[in-house]
């Protein structure tokens, strides 16, 4: 009797968090979606995704549910199934999510996890759809998914999908999670929300003009925990809100200054530091994976 074939190995892939360095709402489309302007900053910190190819075609999530999200609503599962159907793939995948990014904080956890699954399975399954097609698929899962697929810091417009890569200076960030799961749909309906801000330009942003976050006054008014986080962070710098979540941050030029600020944050707040990156760490892992694959192919052609 022949031995059973070995299982496919597990592989580990980063799913980096993001910050919105500002966020303006400049209008609304005919279909009801709001028009935004923002700058996405990718971080060297985030979730991790473990993947293993399956030969039976099943997509299986392992481990505890993510923040109570049912499996059929999990963006990683939806991303895997969408890629499988779009590329007509016979194989499946096992998925394990190692969560660090808090849900509802505006740090992009679910969107980044979905983007990582799209890119990593595209490599593992050998579908070769390319970044443009994967970003298109990602947009159907969520407006923030394409920026993680493309892997660049970006100036974004439209509903967040019209991306232009932007060079950002090195920076470190003190991050705080107030523990509030901000309901995005409800926030967009808020009477206090400014929906018709004058459009900003990249020059405005580069010049340091304070562009703000449209959701900041709404959340500070509605959520005492967010207001408390802003008060605490104002002792070490100028706090800002990220996305439409409750997460707050202060930017610093160096790691030392960010970590010094961390020491004076009240112990009751969940706070940590992270560095901004010029390119998504996921893409570095993908490049390494592709290089290893090419070397293996080259070795296989030798006699």
Among candidate residues 18, 74, 84, 113, the one labeled active-site is: 18
Say what the pLDDT of residue 184 is: 72
Active site residue 18: yes
Give the span between the Cα atoms of 227 and 139, in whole angstroms. Answer: 32
- 3-class secondary-structure state, position 157: strand
Say what the pLDDT of residue 64 is: 67
* pLDDT at residue 278 greater than cutoff 70: yes
Give the span between the Cα atoms of 255 and 14, in whole angstroms. Answer: 21
Give the span between the Cα atoms of 138 and 244, in whole angstroms. Answer: 19
- 3-class secondary-structure state, position 179: coil
Active site residue 84: no
Pair 26, 138: CB distance under 8 Å: no
In the DSSP assignment, the letter for residue 73 is: G
Mean pLDDT over 23-30 rounds to 89
Closest to 163 in 3D by CA, of 276, 288, 280, 47: 280
> In the predicted model, what is the mean pLDDT of the chain?
91
Say what the pLDDT of residue 196 is: 85
Fold of 172-275: Alpha-Beta Plaits (3.30.70)
Show Cβ contacts of residue 253 under 8 Å, excluding neighbours closer than 6 positions.
170, 171, 172
SS3 content of the chain, % helix, strand, coil (to 5): 35, 25, 40
From-to residues of CATH 3.30.230.10 in the chain? 11-166
pLDDT in tens, 226-251: 999 999 999 999 999 999 889 999 99
Say what the pLDDT of residue 65 is: 60
Categorize the per-residue pLDDT at 289 as very low, low, confident or very high, splitting at 50, 70 and 90: confident
Better-predicted residue by pLDDT, 74 or 300 = 74
Better-predicted residue by pLDDT, 185 or 212 = 212
What Rg, from alpha-carbon coordinates, does the chain have?
A: 20
Categorize the per-residue pLDDT at 277 as very low, low, confident or very high, splitting at 50, 70 and 90: very high
Measure CA 219 to chain center.
21
Among candidate residues 74, 94, 144, 177, the one labeled active-site is: 144
Say what the pLDDT of residue 261 is: 98
Closest to 192 in 3D by CA, of 220, 217, 166: 217
Say what the pLDDT of residue 7 is: 77
Say what the pLDDT of residue 302 is: 46
Residue 244, phi then psi, degrees to nearest 5: -105, 15
Measure CA 135 to chain center.
13
Measured CA distances, 153 to 121, 127, 168, 187 (Å): 23, 26, 7, 25
Give the span between the Cα atoms of 193 and 208, in whole angstroms. Answer: 23
* pLDDT at residue 2 greater than cutoff 60: no
pLDDT in tens, 100-113: 999 889 999 999 99
Name the token pair of 78. 């939806």
- Provide long-range contacts, Cβ within 8 A and 24+ apart, for 279-282: 279/42, 279/151, 279/152, 280/14, 280/16, 280/42, 280/148, 280/151, 280/152, 281/14, 281/16, 281/44, 282/13, 282/14, 282/15, 282/16, 282/115, 282/116, 282/119, 282/120, 282/148, 282/151
For 11-166, which CATH class?
Answer: alpha beta
pLDDT in tens, 153-188: 999 999 888 999 999 999 999 999 999 887 777 777
């Amino acid at each position: 009797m022949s031995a059973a074939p070995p299982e496919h190995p597990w592989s580990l892939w980063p799913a980096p968090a993001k910050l919105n360095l500002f966020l303006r709402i400049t209008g609304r489309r005919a279909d009801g979606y709001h028009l935004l302007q923002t700058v996405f900053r990718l971080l060297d910190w985030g979730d991790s995704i473990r993947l293993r190819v399956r030969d039976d075609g099943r997509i299986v999530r392992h481990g505890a549910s993510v923040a109570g999200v049912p499996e059929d609503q999990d963006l990683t599962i939806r991303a895997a199934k969408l890629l499988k159907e779009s590329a007509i793939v016979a194989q499946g995948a096992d998925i394990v999510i190692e969560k660090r990014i808090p849900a509802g904080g505006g740090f992009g956890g679910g969107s980044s996890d979905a983007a990582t699954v799209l890119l990593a399975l595209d490599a593992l399954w050998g579908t070769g759809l390319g970044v443009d097609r994967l970003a298109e698929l990602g947009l159907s899962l969520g407006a923030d998914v394409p920026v993680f697929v493309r892997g660049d810091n970006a100036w974004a417009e439209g509903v967040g999908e019209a991306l232009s890569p932007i060079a950002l200076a090195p920076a470190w960030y003190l991050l705080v999670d107030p523990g509030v799961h901000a309901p995005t749909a409800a926030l967009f309906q808020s009477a206090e929300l400014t929906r018709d801000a004058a459009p900003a330009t990249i020059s405005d942003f580069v010049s340091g003009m304070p562009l703000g976050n449209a959701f900041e006054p709404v959340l500070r008014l509605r959520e005492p925990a967010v207001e408390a986080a802003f008060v605490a962070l104002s002792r070490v710098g100028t706090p800002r809100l990220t996305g439409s979540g409750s997460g707050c941050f202060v930017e610093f030029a160096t790691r030392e200054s960010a970590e010094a600020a961390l020491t004076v944050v009240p112990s009751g707040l969940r706070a940590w530091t992270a560095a901004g990156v010029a390119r998504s760490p996921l893409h570095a892992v993908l490049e390494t994976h592709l290089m290893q694959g090419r070397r293996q192919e080259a070795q296989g052609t030798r006699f």
